[in-house]
Amino acid sequence: MSNLSVSIVTDPAHWNDSLRALPYAHILQTWEWGEFKRDTTGWEPLRLAFVRDGVTVAMASTGIRRVGPFTMMYAPKGPVLDYNDQGLCEQVLGYLETTAQHHRAVWLKIDPDVPLATGIPGESDDLPQPAGAALISRLKRTGWRFSPDQVQFRNTIKIDLTQSEEALLARMSQNTRRKVRVAEREGVTVRPATVNDLPALYALYKETGARDNFLVRPEWYYEQAWRRFMDAGLAHALIAEVNGKAIAHVILFHFGKTCWYFYGASSNEERQRMPNYLLQWEAMRWAKAQGYETYDLWGAPDVFDESDSMWGVYNFKRGFRGTVVRHVGAWDYAPSPLRYSAYTSAWPRLRGALRRLARR
């Protein structure tokens, strides 16, 4: 690789410090995320740094996992690099393709945090992003496939925290701003959570999963995620209370220039007090005070109409008046198309078995 060297990084601080300085850095590429996925789901991290003239210019934390006869590789929200540098992008992707071949992987999945467009498709704010379009063109040209398994949210809503608090409030929809005030008026208070609150956080999360019908993993899984990142200074939780009783929470992950709203939950009680609206506002205020430039609400519909399962959540989030960001999504590189086809036909059964194991 002309003028580019590649090394495996084994030092956590060096990895995170180098990653933090790169464009499109993401919490899912941190050292801690790789360790968390190894300990909970068996993805063994391979951490590659690409160095040019003594400077780290790209990184890829790629998990490797074997299920039966299949080996899979996945770089969640990676690789991380300046995607406006087409030559660098070509070299990094080429190296990852060779690595997938070396490991005889059925597929290598990437889903870098690169926007394809901003705004809602077909509306006046629909603006294409050249770096995303160029990346997709390169992937198609070299045989990558848009993945049938989009692990992360492809779209999201991001809020610019470089604005003043007054401007952030003024941009909210009138209804959302009113509900923030309702929560304050109705006696909802918000405080930071500690690791001692983890059982209460899980209880609320489990209650929300039962109400909203989404998969909730065993408590130990969230204990691992939340405690690990809180201890590392990469997660912050806020609890909404009424008369000292926890009724809702948010758990924020933060790294680089971004704070993400990863987890949220609320009790079946006291919902009329609108605690979730106040929690989001306090989360934005906290992130802004810590110097983060972007608040990522982590998830928006794939299809922007009521047929999408995310529509209800989207209606809540869009009241905060962030910018819809549509990313390139997940793409698979298959060294052997025949093995990839065999895997994709067997995957629904394998995924069902893995989910049953996860519930135990």
Looking at residue 67, its pLDDT comes to 84
- pLDDT tens-digit series, residues 47-76: 999 999 999 999 999 999 998 888 999 999
Query: What are the chain's domains?
Result: 5-118+128-151+329-359 (3.40.630.30), 157-324 (3.40.630.30)
344 pLDDT band, cuts 50/70/90, is confident
Give the span between the Cα atoms of 31 and 313, in whole angstroms: 30
Share of the chain above pLDDT 70, in %: 96
1 pLDDT band, cuts 50/70/90, is low
Q: Pick left, alpha or beta for residue 321 (phi over 0 → left; psi -120 to 50 → alpha; otherwise beta).
A: left
Decide: helix, strand or coil at residue 243.
coil
Nearest by Cα to 265 from 250, 275, 253? 250
Q: What is the average pLDDT across 11-25?
A: 98
Looking at residue 13, its pLDDT comes to 97
- pLDDT tens-digit series, residues 216-247: 999 999 999 999 999 999 999 999 999 999 99
Looking at residue 132, its pLDDT comes to 97
- pLDDT tens-digit series, residues 185-222: 999 999 999 999 999 999 999 999 999 888 899 999 99
Phi, psi angle pair for 231, to nearest 5°: -60, -35
Looking at residue 350, its pLDDT comes to 66
Looking at residue 27, its pLDDT comes to 98
Nearest-5° Cα angle at 201, 179 to 257: 70
359 pLDDT band, cuts 50/70/90, is low
Give the span between the Cα atoms of 57 and 43, in whole angstroms: 25
The answer to whether the pTM exceeds 0.85 is: yes
